[in-house]
Amino acid sequence: MGNRNLLIMWIANFFVAASATMVLPFLSIYIETFGSFSDSYVQRWSGFIFGITFLIAFFVSPLWGRFGDKFGRKKILLITGYGIAISIFLMSYVESVTGLFFLRMFMGVVTGFIPTSMALISAQTKKEIAGKVLGTLQMGTVSGGLFGPLIGGLLADSVGFTYTFFITGAVISIATTLVLFGIKEVKINKEDEKIRPKQTMKEVIQHISADRVLVMVMIISLVVQTANFSIQPQLALYVGQLIAAENIAFLAGLAFSVTGLGNLVATRFWGIQGDRIGHEKILLICLIMAGVFFIPQAFVTNIFQLIGLRFMFGVAVGGIIPCVTAYIRLAVPLSMQGEVLGYNQSFRFLGNVLGPVTGGVVAGMWGITSVFYVSSFLFFIAAWMFYVVLKANKRKSLEKRRLANFS
């Protein structure tokens, strides 16, 4: 049953995550079909319409996690899954920029599917294999988000905007129906887990704040998404500087999405290594590797070098998300785990918003290659901060142990 639940949630998470980013390649073109607008108007509203989903989700994700902890996670999966499908389906009928904006806003409200799915699978997973199982689940989430632009671009070119939204909504409905009939929510075994009384939202935030490593883990989630999406708005222009071809949009989508292939190759491996030697150690290694593979992208001379480096960057980033999730599984009681995973997802959504904005500002001031320098710096400073926090936490633990032995 556990393997069946994992497989179903993997498939569902892939399509839900892909739906959030698949409008990227054609969003500005779709807006132009609503009327005769200036370039600045289209560019401005493209940013608003893309970013509003993640901004709203930033605030709402912890609430869905809390509702899942309280009322059952399968119910939340069905509400949010069908909600996302409806919002995307209606986008095929929208006739104004304002209408599209509000539908993307509604999509942000119901974007609680992914953290709830992680909480559901986490609750039925033994701590000893949390990294392996959650790493496998995250393969679906991360790959969907990164392959979304490629899928969206291909669909839009093949069948047009209207049918792209229609097909996507239908696929997510099917995936959610699969959850309805295929997922069995496992009741928590009270002999294996100490069940605490339900905490208030204030108590959950206090629990997070009291654990410096947990706070840093969430900051890492923010940094990864910010750095990864910082180059997204500039990637087509950067590819255009490397190659003179008609299919620049496709190659730019490929260069961005190949990071997802690196994730697919490495995520489960990193999760297993985290189970073996500690998720904190793997996080530190992957942060450093991500910075190392991001810097050289500023010096490439052809598209193949860029694709190769972005693949290796994907391998490095692939270890960060499952180890973050597994650490939360180990550090947080099950009674509040969904809500804490929701907060972590909120940090990731915030990174999805900050990344393109940061990349655009940096590129506008110092050029596209400077985005790679700034993002690499973010990875290295996050690694240093995490190392400092881990050292301080280790000293604190040793001091407590020494005092306990002394008494």
CA distance 218 to 281: 16
Tally of CA atoms within 13 A in the half-sphere of 59 that contains its CB = 9
Phi, psi of 227 (to 5 degrees): -65, -40
Check residue 192 and give its pLDDT: 44
User: What domains lie within the chain, and their CATH numbers?
Assistant: 2-184+198-406 (1.20.1250.20)
CA distance 75 to 338: 13
CA distance 111 to 296: 35
CA distance 179 to 3: 13
CA distance 11 to 21: 16
Contact present, 173 and 44 (Cβ < 8 Å):
no
Q: What is the pLDDT along the chain (407 residues), one digit of tens a residue?
A: 568 888 889 988 888 888 767 776 677 778 888 888 887 788 788 878 877 888 898 888 888 888 888 888 899 999 999 999 999 899 888 989 999 999 999 999 998 888 788 888 877 887 778 778 877 887 788 778 777 877 887 888 888 888 888 888 888 899 899 999 988 876 655 444 444 556 777 888 888 888 899 999 999 999 988 988 888 767 777 888 887 766 676 777 788 778 878 887 888 899 889 889 988 999 999 999 999 999 999 999 888 899 999 999 999 988 887 888 888 888 888 778 778 888 888 898 889 888 888 888 888 888 889 999 999 999 999 999 999 999 988 888 787 777 767 65
- pTM for this model (two decimals): 0.80
Neighbouring residues of 283: CB distance < 8 A, sequence distance ≥ 6? 217, 220, 274, 319, 320, 323, 324, 327, 386
CB atoms within 10 A of CB 405: 7
Check residue 45 and give its pLDDT: 85
Compute the chain's Rg from CA coordinates: 21
Check residue 191 and give its pLDDT: 44
Check residue 245 and give its pLDDT: 64
Secondary structure string (H, E, C) spanning the chain: CHHHHHHHHHHHHHHHHHHHHCCHHHHHHHHHCCCCCCHHHHHHHHHHHHHHHHHHHHHHHHHHHHHHHHHCHHHHHHHHHHHHHHHHHHHCCCCCHHHHHHHHHHHHHCCCHHHHHHHHHHHCCCHHHHHHHHHHHHHHHHHHHHHHHHHHHHHHHHHCHHHHHHHHHHHHHHHHHHHHHHCCCCCCCCCCCCCCCCCCHHHHHHHHHHCHHHHHHHHHHHHHHHHHHHCHHHHHHHHHHHCCCCCHHHHHHHHHHHHHHHHHHHHHHHHHHHHHHCHHHHHHHHHHHHHHHHHHHHCCCCHHHHHHHHHHHHHHHCCHHHHHHHHHHHHCCHHHHHHHHHHHHHHHHHHHHHHHHHHHHHHHHHCCHHHHHHHHHHHHHHHHHHHHHHHHHHHHHHHHHHHHHHC
CA distance 128 to 278: 11
